[in-house]
Structure 1
């Protein structure tokens, strides 16, 4: 039974390392792309467009328009 509590105690550290690893492996290619100035402009335009698109979709779906 003590083995269970030891594993339960280690779970938050495991979960934290999984999340950090996920974000690092996800965003590492994006950071490599952002070293070029042309890619920064393109990435910014795409990001702003996606955020505004999602905002408009959610606004229409909730009936706040």
Structure 2
């Protein structure tokens, strides 16, 4: 029984390490492209505007979905 529990925790810790490495790789790949594009001034402002718009849209969508009135 004890061996099965230890095996389960070992598998769980390996999955967490894998998940973190996949997420870090995804964000590094995505942000590398954005940083490469942001060398141009006009594109940089477009990226800032797009990110700000996405955050505001997500904020209001969640606010209305959850019924928050405060």
TM-score w.r.t. the length of structure 2 is 0.64
- CA RMSD for the aligned pairs? 2.4
The separation in 2 between residues aligned to 1:20 and 1:35, in whole angstroms, is 23
TM-score w.r.t. the length of structure 1 is 0.68
Structure 2 unaligned segments of length 5 or more: list them: 1-6
Closer, same or farther: CA 37–15 of 1 in aligned 2, 3 Å: same
Alignment of 1:4-19 (within 5 A): 8=10, 11=14, 16-19=20-23
Structure 1 unaligned segments of length 5 or more: list them: none
| C-alpha deviation, 1:26, in angstroms | 1.7
